[in-house]
Each structure stands twice: as C-alpha cells, then as structure tokens.
Amino acid sequence: MEIRYNWTKEEILEIYNKPFMDLLYEAASVHRQHHDQNTVQVSTLLSIKTGGCPEDCGYCPQAARYHTNIEGNDLMSVNQVKAQALRAKASGSSRVCMGAAWRNVKDGAEFDSVLEMVRTINKLDMEVCCTLGMITENQAQRLAEAGLYAYNHNLDSSEEYYKEVISTRGYQDRLDTIGNVRKTNVTVCSGGIIGMGESISDRAGMLVALATLNPQPESVPINALVPVEGTPLEEQEQVSIWEMVRMVATTRIVMPHTQVRLSAGRTQMSREGQAMCFFAGANSIFAGDKLLTTPNPDVNEDMEMFKQLGLQPQKPFVKKAQPETVSAEESKFQNLGEKPKWTRPGHSIERNLEAQKKARTRMG
C-alpha cells in the first residue's frame, strides 16, 4: 500500500464513520500488510523531571498553576535513570521514553545531563525516546549525536481545538519542533489525546495534520484522556472503547507504516477492548505502573495479556538501525546557549483560569 500525504478531513471522517466491522477489517488488513500482527512493542515511560511546568495544558496534572497533588521532583541522576532502564529491559521493554516537564529545552547543565542519559541507555541496546518540550535544530542535533532514537512531541488535537485546551504555546511551535527533529536522523513520535471535549471532526483534523507530514511520523501515540482532579478537564467523561478502536483503526489506515501506540487510558480498558485495538492496528504499548503521572496497568498484567493473545514483545531496532553514540568530547554540535522565542498566544481559556482560581483557593 502506497503512502499518501494528501489526505483530506472529509476522507478521514468517511473512514472513521464506516460500519464498525468494515473499519476493523480494513484496518487489520492494512496492518498485516506492513507489520507482524503478533508483535507489539513494549516501551517504558520514565518521568525524569516531574511537575512545576509553566504551561497551562488543560489535561495536565504537571502544570504548576493547577493543584493536583502531584509530587514534583528535580531532574533524576544518570545513575537513577540507568537503574530504571535496566529494570525496564529485564521486564521486556525495548524502548525507554524519558519525559521532563519543561516548556522547552534550555542549553546548560540539565540538558547535558539528559544527553548523558541518552548515551547511557543507547549503550544498553535499547531504543531511547525523549519528550522535553520544544527544541531547536542544534538541540535536536545534539540529541541525535548522543544516540537518540525518537523524539516525542504530540500535536494533542486539531489546530482549531488546540486553542481550547492550551494558551501558552502555539500549534506552529509543535510543527516547527517536529521539523527540527526531521533535520536529524532521529525518528518522530507525535500523536494526541481524545476525550478532551473535541468533536470527531477535530480528531480527523489532528490525523490530517499528522498524515500530511512528509515523511509521516514513525510513531503515533493515541491517548484517551485520564481526567485528573484539579485540572480544567477534571469533569470530562471518559471516551468509550468504541471511540478508541475507531481512532486506532483510522490512524492505521491513513498511516500504514507508522507504529500506532496505545497509550494513556489503558487502565480503563478491558483486555477484550485492548485486543480489539491490537487487531485494529495498535502495535505498541507503554508498560509500567505509571505514565508520567497517571496510572497504567502493571507489567505482569500486560505479559499475561500477551500470553493470552499470543503476542510477542518487539525487539529493539527492528524498524530502524541502532544510532551510534558520539561522546560529549567528540561532539560536533556544542552548547550554543540559545534563547529561542517560542510563541505565547494572547488568548485565554475560561476553564483553565477557573482551575487556577480553584488552585489558589485550595493552597491559600
């Protein structure tokens, strides 16, 4: 199946709204053409720096402006991260994804430390992914030299609905960051969240934005919102498994070569529901008891489910060769002390301001 880069919203809506059995059959057929249907990648998500983020993302318990009982922590040490990576490897993970609650990467000691973490994990023969906020081209090059395999930067939703959820950064900044990653040999991981109050048309809009990127992202996480008390979206009703399967299936059809990641919200899904997602083309999960700050099924539960379904964990570097690691001393790209001006849109979001007010009351 040839990859298309000219999908329209109308075409994607037509796929999403197909009779359920037809949609499932088509997605499963596309999946089998391009992937081993009985192999699923297991990744471990590690929050290397939690809480205190200056952004106002309506779904996120790590935003400093909301009161969500999240315990913040400073950046982990390289040794702590190595120990967690070894534990993840022993339990069947082939990829470690490191997340830091930053708006954007700042050159300096903390970023140097993250580069050392990347070098360390790549040398353990595991794929390394980072999600650190917006990055410049030079920062992307430094991560690539360290041995980064993938960079995650989610679009979250359609460009139109994005403005209803986040007011502290612009959609174009997301696309520019992905563009900076594309100037290196690092693969792109970018997806979004459903269940934030968006319309089906917005879901299709997000898929248009991703599917029309050339090349398409190598990895697309589909998250179901986990409403967290204290965030502006705490009252949102959780999406049904049917919506999740439709979203996975549609993503698989429009991005046939991409790894579709079944991400946040799995604790609310039955094994039968997850099996339908795998059948519809999801071929990656996050393992471990937490996804940054929200609950996630235990790794032993996942392995039990794999056994029931006859699934095998994917080995590392199946889709792309392992990157080489260049030592800090031999690096061609150095700390430039950059201070890029990322966008701060001027609008405000009523429910985000409301949640801030509540947080001040609780803390006061």
Q: Are 177 and 169 in contact (CB under 8 A)?
A: no
Instruction: Assess whether 130 carries a catalytic annotation.
Output: no
CA distances for 180 relative to 137, 153, 322, 336, angstroms: 5, 11, 20, 16
3-state SS assignment for residue 14: helix
User: Which is catalytic among the residues 60, 95, 142, 266?
Assistant: 60
Instruction: Assess whether 57 carries a catalytic annotation.
Output: yes
> Residue 198 and residue 20: Cα distance in Å, rounded?
21
User: Which is catalytic among the residues 119, 129, 246, 252?
Assistant: 129
Which tokens is 324 given? 């080489």
User: Which is catalytic among the residues 57, 119, 142, 252?
Assistant: 57
CA distances for 218 relative to 150, 175, 274, 293, 360, angstroms: 9, 15, 21, 25, 41
CB atoms within 10 A of CB 119: 19
User: Which is catalytic among the residues 53, 142, 174, 203?
Assistant: 53
User: Which is catalytic among the residues 119, 189, 203, 266?
Assistant: 189
User: Which is catalytic among the residues 97, 119, 142, 266?
Assistant: 97
> Residue 323 and residue 151: Cα distance in Å, rounded?
13
User: Which is catalytic among the residues 95, 169, 174, 261?
Assistant: 261
Task: Write the CB contacts of 301 (distance below 8 Å, at least 6 apart in sequence).
Answer: none
Q: Cα 57 to chain center, whole Å?
A: 15
Q: Are 280 and 256 in contact (CB under 8 A)?
A: no
> Residue 187 and residue 216: Cα distance in Å, rounded?
10
Instruction: Assess whether 189 carries a catalytic annotation.
Output: yes
Q: Cα 130 to chain center, whole Å?
A: 9
Instruction: Assess whether 277 carries a catalytic annotation.
Output: no
CA distances for 67 relative to 57, 73, 232, 316, 363, angstroms: 13, 16, 10, 38, 8
Instruction: Assess whether 60 carries a catalytic annotation.
Output: yes
Closest to 97 in 3D by CA, of 261, 217, 257: 261
Instruction: Assess whether 97 carries a catalytic annotation.
Output: yes
Instruction: Assess whether 53 carries a catalytic annotation.
Output: yes
Catalytic residues: 53, 57, 60, 97, 129, 189, 261
